[in-house]
Structure 1
Amino acid sequence: MGVTTKQILYLSGIIFSGIILGVFVAKTQIMGAATIIALPFVIGYLIAIFRNPVLGLYTVLVFSFFVNGVGRYANAGPLGLSIDVFLVIALLAEFFKGFEDDPWPDMKRNPILIAIYVWGAYCMLEFFNPEARSKEAWFYAMRAVILYLILIVVLGIVLMRTEKHLDRVLKIWMIASCIATLWGARQLFVGLDRFEQAWMDSGNATTHILFGKLRVFSFYSDAGQYGAAMGHIGLICILLSLSPFGNRNFKLFYLIGGFFCLWGMSISGTRGALFVVMGGFMAYLGMSRNYKMLVIGGIAAVMFFGMLKFTKIGQSNYQINRMRTGLDPNDPSLQLRLINQAKLRGYLASRPIGGGIGSAGFWGTRFSPGTFLAVTALDSWYVKIWAECGVVGLYVHVGMLLTFMIYFGLKLWKIPPCLLRDKLVALYSGMFGILVACYGNQILGQLPTNVAIYLSISFLYVFTKDEYYEQAVDTTNR
């Protein structure tokens, strides 16, 4: 039987493709081979995400936990930009669907989106700030300041509109955080691996070894972010376990996860994380509409702070001792922060719109080294916004955050008691705790906390709309 022309063409195509792939692997070696192996999975993922764009948001959530840790092991360029890539893919996937099933959120008469867009417009104008030394710095820094906020909140509103989405996000969040706690426990009890030690030796040991004790950082950007993130999810899990509407397995799942993550918070040696938990707990008491619980919880909180402030109980425990120093007004770290803020006050007195986004902190050191803002420690998220966007930008930004808390607080107050409301109150309380702790650390601008907060805003937006009140009542009867 003879060979047909079609068969010859197929065989020629296979041989030609094999030669091309062989040359590619020979030139690029291991990376080329890895690329070829990964290509089918990448294609499969893209097909899946264009069929179901919400997969992009789940990917962003999962990746936000591990991207900083992976960067210590693989020199693969700016891995943080992968978050942008996944968000853009999800946006494109939804765009090509035409928003048929998921209409674009209408900003009319909704203060949440209006506040976000006003802050976004201000950040865009900061590109033209005459004080800014680098436009490239603006591109990198504005992602954490505004881009992620807009994309995640809007995509969350469009793509995550059911309680199943909320439950899935909470489980992914808690499981990833428990993995982070296990990783941190390994650092504390077994020791750092060579990649983590190299990261410490590059200059990070000065802030992560205090009094001979390791401040655990897990696979997060630093111990401060790790501790705050563990306090955030730990608080939310404990509050979920307190809901009278959840079944026993629901409560046990979140109770165990919550205490495990709070223990992870304690080994970070991060004092600011304490204010995430306490601030969030006070917000929960205020939203509980149970005045007896409010009084009892308030007394318990005062007793806990009193124990830290006025006694030496547990002083031999490093974690308790570390938290206790956070309440000392004469703490050297606090005094240094106040001195730096006084310097900034003088510098910014003639700069009402600040030095430009990306002019301070990490990006300032990279793109405008030696400048005043680049060499001045900021510590606080609000101080960072003040330094880069000026007092005008600080007012706009804080106004946006207050809009979130006031609007959602009033809406939640109207929802009748039910499991859905308890989930939303837990998210609300966690967000309040993070905003309180942002006075001491730049928590809101770092992964994974910013992703978690922005998804929280999305869920609060969706489920506090008037048309969902009936759904909330239905949830009560489950």
Structure 2
Amino acid sequence: MQNPFHKNTGALQLQHPIAILLVILVSLLIGKLMSSSGISLIAILLVLPFILIFVNRVFHIPKIALFAIQFAGYFINGLPRYTGPAIPFGLAADGLFILALIAVIFKHFYQGVDWKPMLKDVSLLAAIWMGWIGLEILNPEAVSFQAWFYTMRGIALYFFFGIPLVLLLMRSPKDLEIFLYIWGSMTILASLKGAMQQLIGLDFAEQRWLDAGAYETHLLFGKLRVFSFLSDAGQFGASQAHALVMGGIIAYETKKMKKKLFFGVVALLGLYGMLISGTRGAIAVPALGFFTYLILTKNVRLISLGAATGVAVYVFFAYTTILQSNYQVARFRTAFHPDQDASFQVRLENQRILKSYLASRPLGGGVGHAGVRAQKYVPNGFLANIATDSWYVLIWAENGAIGLTLHFFILFFIVLKSGFLIMYRIHDHELKARMMAILSGIMGILLANYGNAVMGQFPTSINVYFGMGFLFLSPYLDQIIAKEKTLGKDSFSLF
């Protein structure tokens, strides 16, 4: 018989090997931060209690770490403008993914973790892609492990962690709703911050960042390409366009008035953010995103109406000069005339150079070795001095024709199976609306990837990978909703 007066205190729980390992890792991290970034012990001690409380909550509810990653993804690449590059904020996502995994193991240590929910075909594909990227370390063209380490995270690691952990931990319609509300809320904040930059001006850190060299791409003809608190205008534009598709579809489909209003605001501010970013490639997101939605509805009348609208929009941009005096409209109009776009011609020339170089390199030039960002690690590398711009060109340059083929196979499989699940396996209207919104947004991002490498950066990468996880989880969520309906419950109510 268990002694009722005996309880496992926090001190006793710290005897667990995993807890001891965590204490050691935290101590090493604190020492590293103090030595490399100049952060004072007082500052660390002030923040430490909040970190410990957060870690405690994660160990009780591991999915909190995933929501924290989604939230933090909007700030990770913008914070260095204020703190400097010494603090590696980018590694925070890695730590949170690992923390979530450790928390799951620790929480179910004695009875064992049920890994079955994450054992799906999409998880296998994520593992295969991670394995391929891992093997790229052995690429004879690669010369920098550091370049591989920092680059592979956005290309493969978050994909590898994100989808399986969503399948394992976010197994409730409410989890899906929280994911969408965080996404929508951060979209609103990002557009409001962008409006401040556009209408009021930049703060000291943003101006310093611009003066340090970012003005070359963010100040064109005296007009600012707004970037909000994200990494750059390209990511801001694509992210807001992504939210435009997600919010617009849910607002149109949902029957709940409060949610219709919220997601309608998300869509409108997403559109506004996309326009003020001046990111021409971002227009591909709503173009293919809404077209995908029309196909998924299987509604002939809606498809016809959407096609007519699409033609009208194309004619407006490609064959008229209406609103040409508006800078945003004029800039987006240039995307419909690539033959007159000097930057597009430069990209084509770079691709011709890469084609010749990669003809004898089927494995590519090595992960982290291509594009401007590679100059930090291999400044004299051939690929480092050729702008890749496109996500697919980046994958091709670093992984060769074999890697690019594998990447396309994985993406096509995910998209096609997700479409099949939405059209033939999901019965609840509200769930189907959300899945159509997620898949349509992903399709838009996949097209926008041709112009810019947006999928490998925060926050788009997390919203895409988590969204993929929910798509493959949708048949299970549909069953839960059906059961809860018989009990008179609203599966998507957060309160």
TM-score (norm 1): 0.90
2:62 corresponding residue in structure 1: 53
User: 1:267-346, aligned counterparts within 5 Å?
Assistant: 267-330=276-339, 331-346=341-356
Q: Of the candidates 244, 250, 254, which is equivalent to residue 240 of structure 1? A: 250
Gaps of 5+ in 1: 1-23
- The aligned amino acid for 1:300 is T
Decide which of 194, 200, 213 is 1:203's aligned counterpart: 213
Say whether the 8 Å CA contact 2:428–2:481 is kept in structure 1. Answer: no
Matched to 2:64, the amino acid is L
* Residues 1:403 and 1:186: Cα distance change in structure 2 (over 3 Å): same
1:125 counterpart = 2:115? no
Secondary structure of 1:161 counterpart: coil
Tell me how far apart the structure 1 counterparts of residues 478 and 250 of structure 2 sit (CA, whole Å): 20
1:191 aligns with 2:205: no
Amino acid at match of 1:141: T
Measure, in 1, the Cα distance between the counterparts of 2:403 and 2:413.
Answer: 15
> 1:59 and 1:107 mapped to 2: Cα distance?
20
**Higher mean Cα deviation, 353-362 or 427-436?**
353-362
TM-align CA RMSD: 2.2
Query: How is 1:147-162 mapped onto 2 (pairs within 5 angstroms)?
Result: 147-162=157-172
Is the partner of 1:364 in helix, strand or coil?
Answer: helix
- 1:42 aligned onto 2:51: yes
Per the alignment, residue 463 of structure 2 pairs with: 452
Tell me what 2:451 maps to.
Answer: 440
Deviation string, structure 1 residues 310-349 (Cα, Å, up to 9, x no partner): 1111111111111110111211111111000000000000
Match of 2:260 among 251, 258, 267: 251
* Aligned AA (1:111): D
- Give the structure 2 partner of residue 369 of structure 1: 379
The residue aligned with 1:18 is none
Structure 2 length-normalised TM:
0.87
Residue among 19, 28, 33 paired with 2:42: 33
Letter in 2 for 1:442: A
Aligned to 2:432: 421
Q: Write the letter of the residue equivalent to 2:435.
A: L
CA distance in 2, matches of 1:475, 1:432: 31
String of CA shifts for 1:37-59, please: whole Å, max 9, x gaps. Answer: 22221211111111111110011
SS in 1 for 2:277: coil
Deviates more, 1:338-347 or 1:455-464: 455-464
Q: Specify whether residues 49 and 470 from structure 1 end up closer, same or farther in structure 2 by C-alpha distance, changes over 3 A only.
A: closer
SS at match of 2:74: helix
User: Shift in Å at residue 305 of structure 1?
Assistant: 0.7
Contact 2:372 2:385 in 1 (8 A): no
Unaligned runs of 5+ in 2: 1-30, 491-495
Secondary structure of 2:365's aligned partner: coil
* 1:145-196 alpha-carbon deviations (Å, 9 max, x no partner): 1111111111111110111001111111111111111111111111111211
In the TM superposition, residue 77 of structure 1 has moved relative to its aligned partner by: 2.0
Deviations 1:415-442 (A, max 9, x none): 2351011011100100010001100000
- Residue 80 of structure 2 is matched in structure 1 by 71
Aligned residue pair count: 451
**CA deviation map 1:32-79 (0-9, x unaligned):** 111112222121111111111111001101110011121110124221
Which residue does 1:264 correspond to in 2?
273
- Relative to structure 1, is the Cα distance of residues 101 and 461 closer, same or farther in structure 2, using a 3 angstrom cutoff? farther
Equivalent position of 1:6 in the other structure: none
CA–CA distance in 1 between the matches of 2:478 and 2:260? 24
Structure 1 residue aligned with 2:71, among 33, 52, 62?
62
Contact 1:421 1:472 in 2 (8 A): no
Q: 1:310 to 1:350 in 2, by over 3 A?
A: same
